Every structure is written in structure tokens, then in C-alpha cells.
A and B are shown apart, each in its own frame.
Chain A
Amino acid sequence: MLTKATTGRAKRPAKPITLVGVDVYIITENGIPAFDDYGAFKIEFISNRGTKVWPGYVSEDLMLVNWYRCRFMATKAVTDTDVDTFLTALSKKWKWSAAQKLWNYGDEAGFSKAY
């Protein structure tokens, strides 16, 4: 059932939505994760508390917690089925708390980069 307020709500102009990747939040006590090749998805960066820890410079002073945001970008046109397959494969090796699909809205990324 839709309420009256729902049907009367302000609408944002619609843009075409494209699935382009997945952010997966990995829990590990073993430091910055290193991933296998997952075919349709390739690791782009890893951040910890919002700070990029791979690739590139990491200060020795940087405090890491046991929760890493791992951004996997699609290497080809992908569907939800590809995401399911990818997460099933990832789950065999890694414990994760959440996954967030990454969409482009028109030409704009609907997700932020890490610092």
C-alpha cells in the first residue's frame, strides 16, 4: 500500500542507473587484506576508517581497526547475479559485515572515494 504522502512526495529527476561495483566491508585481524582474482570484479582500493590503506602510501602511525571497506569495481557489464556469485566466492575466504552495490546515476558516480 502506498500512503498519500508517498505518492505526493517531491520527485528528483530520474537518471539511468548502472551497476558498476560493490563495496564490501571485511572484518579481519590480519591487517590489510590481499584478494584473489574474482573475474568480474577487481579490487580498486581498501580503506580503514575512511583512510585509503591500499594502494599507495600508508603512514606507520596509522591506527587500523578490524573493519576494512574494500571497493571492487566491475571489469565488464554486470548484473545482480554476478554480485551474488562474487559474494559467494568471497565468503569462502573472508568474513564480511555488509556489502553495498555501487551505482552510477547517469554519468555521475553515486559513491564517494576514500581519503
Chain B
Amino acid sequence: MGKHVITMLPGEGTGPEICEAVRRIIDHTGVEIVWEYEDIGLDCLDKYGTLLPEKTIKSIAKNKLAIKGPTTTPIGTGHKSANVTLRKMFDLYANVRPAKLIPVLKRPWDKIDILTFRENTEDSYAAIEHMVSDEVAQCLKVITWPGSYRIAEFAFKWAKANGRKKIQCVHKANIMKMTDGLFLEAFREVAKKYPEIESGDIIVDNCSMQLVRNPGQFDCLVLPNLYGDILSDLCAGLVGGLGFAPGANIGDNCAIFEAVHGSAPKYAGMKKVNPSAVLLSGVMMLRWVGENAAADKIEKGMNKVLAEGKTLTYDAGGTASTDQYADAIIKAMN
């Protein structure tokens, strides 16, 4: 493969130390990467007056590929989330979240391999909110046919390319007949084009209950934005928590890979947090650009370190620092 130019967004809080560990591990695969470091998040406010500087936007627009560390959205200050802004600006409409059981992380289940495809740009995240009287607030839930159609199409294509067998549309169309009804209708229309993949639908509340009781029954889920946000975290909880939950935000010509956890500012500089979620996001990114051998190498190295159980970060029951954990993975990759 040729050289890759990737925008690196370390974020703030523990983000820079996590991203440094991840960069070292990815570089150790031998894949040729030019990293373009750019700023994003709270630390940008003083310097640029915005969470998402113009220079960062230009870098992503040029490279069409980025990996991002955690950032924090200030609550109640009027600043829009940099994450959501990026997704909307570059129309990264497919949020792909794998929840796969890592064998050595003990859980009550022996089989979980769920892929959630969350529509990433619409729904109640369209930021259309009004105080329509002094005691009534409303938020418009925006669901469009083309937006619903393309996330369903994305999921079916992904499933077909990766040997997945079954896709379910998660909705509440029994109550929200127009909005979720349209989402389900588009899903069913797309499903007709993929008869080789089993398709069905499930109501979101039932899906939540089933995920907790019997998660092994699920393969791929396609969800509108809000249900996707919630259930993808639920799935992450089933396989070890957000410390091991990677994510990808993908559009037709641009992709940003990121962990979904926060920036844990209280641990900043202590080099103790688990970099696995960003690392696994990097693994997804390497597969996205066709560097499958490098991705496999990292994943095997990480699983080996987890199986040995000697060099684990605190959240996985160990005492290793971020750097010690990264070094152990690099050693296991050799």
C-alpha cells in the first residue's frame, strides 16, 4: 500500500497521552503514515475562540481521513459539540460501532459480535429546538427518506462485504408512525435488494431488553441517531465498557475514527488511562484503508497482552500505565 496522510486529533484531557500511545503502536506495524497533528476541543477555546479551528477543518477536508482522541463538550455554554459539528460538516452519516467480546475479559456471555450502524446526522440531533411558550420546549425529530435509505444501504453493503448474516432495523414506528415509519420503510426498500441477507425489525424498547437478556442473538442493527447513540453504548457495556469501544464515522468520501468515551480530565497527565478504544478505532481505520495485515497484528498483540493479564491498565484490573500497556502490545506484536 502507498503512504497514508492522516489527520491526528489528540483532543484534550487524557487524549494526547492516549493518542501518543496509539500512534506508537500503529507506527510499529510498518505502515507508512504521515500524521498531521491538529487541534480540537476545549483547549482550542482560548487559542482560537472555537472548539473546532478552521485549520483543523481544512486538514480533514484535504486528507479525508482522521483519527480523534476524546474531547469534552462544555455543558450550558452555548458551544456546539465539536464531534457533532464534524459529523454534520463532512456528512459522516454512518456511525459504525462493533461490540465484540474480547475473550479474556470475563463477562456473563460467551458470544457477542454485534455491529451497530447508527444514522449520524439526523433525528433529534438536527439541533432544531424552540421554546414555543414559556413552559413548553419542542425539538424537531427530522427523519428523511434519503438519509434513512443511505444508512440502510451502507449497512447492507458492509454486511455483505464482511460476511454478516442478519440485519435488524431498530425503531419505534408503532408510536412515531411518520418519522420512524419513514426510517423503517426505507430500510425495507433497501432490504429487497439484498435477499441473501436476513432482514427484520425490532421495536427499540424490546431490543434494549433483548440485548441485556440474550445479546448473542443479534448480528447487525441499523438505528436512527438517538436510539443508535444509546444502544451502541449499551452494547459497549456488554463487552467491557467504553474503554474497549471503538467507533467510526463514515461518509461517502471522508472518515473519522474515534473512541466514544470522554476525555477524563481528572486523569490528564497521569498516563494511567486505557488507550484500547482509540487503538481499536485505529485498527478499524487501518482496515478501512486496506491495511488488514497491520490491523490484525495490532489486534492479536492487544489480545495477547490482555490474555497474559500482566500488563493491564487500572480499568481492566491492573496497575500498568498507558505507556507500559502500549509497550507490552508493541512487544507482543514482534
* A112 B127 Cβ-Cβ under 8 A: yes
* B131 A63 Cβ-Cβ under 8 A: no
Interface size range on B against A: 20 to 34
Question: Contact string, A41-78, partner B, CB cutoff 8 A, digits 1/0?
Answer: 00000010111000001011111010101000000000
Most-contacted residue by chain A among B80, B91, B253 (CB, 10 A): B91
B window 69-85: CB within 8 A of A: 78, 80, 84-85
* A61 B91 Cβ-Cβ under 8 A: yes
Main secondary structure on chain A at its contact with chain B?
Answer: loop
Chain B nearest CB, measured from A17 CB (Å): 7
Given contacts A59-B89, A59-B90, A112-B127, contact A49 B144 (CB under 8 A): yes
* A63 B146 Cβ-Cβ under 8 A: yes
A35 at interface, CB cutoff 8 A: no
In the bound complex, residues from chain B placing their C-beta under 8 Å from that of A110 are 130-131
Pick out which of these stretches binds chain B: A26-34, A81-89, A99-107.
Answer: A99-107
Q: What separation, in Å, do the CA atoms of A63 and B151 have in the docked complex?
A: 12
Chain A nearest CB, measured from B217 CB (Å): 33
* B254 A114 Cβ-Cβ under 8 A: no
Q: What separation, in Å, do the CA atoms of A114 and B146 have in the docked complex?
A: 20
* B147 A15 Cβ-Cβ under 8 A: no
* B122 A63 Cβ-Cβ under 8 A: no
In the complex, how many residues of chain A place their beta carbon closer than 8 angstroms to a beta carbon of chain B?
A: 29
Cβ 8 A contact of A105, one of B89, B134, B146, B251: B134
Can you pick out 29 interface pairs between chain A and chain B where the beta carbons lie within 8 Å of each other? Answer: A12-B135, A14-B134, A23-B128, A49-B121, A49-B126, A50-B122, A50-B125, A50-B126, A51-B89, A51-B91, A51-B121, A57-B57, A59-B61, A59-B89, A61-B91, A61-B251, A61-B253, A61-B254, A62-B89, A63-B91, A65-B147, A100-B130, A102-B130, A105-B131, A111-B131, A112-B130, A113-B78, A113-B80, A115-B84
Given contacts A49-B121, A61-B91, 14 further A-B contacts (CB under 8 A): A12-B135, A17-B134, A23-B130, A47-B126, A49-B126, A50-B128, A50-B142, A51-B88, A59-B89, A59-B90, A61-B253, A114-B127, A115-B80, A115-B88
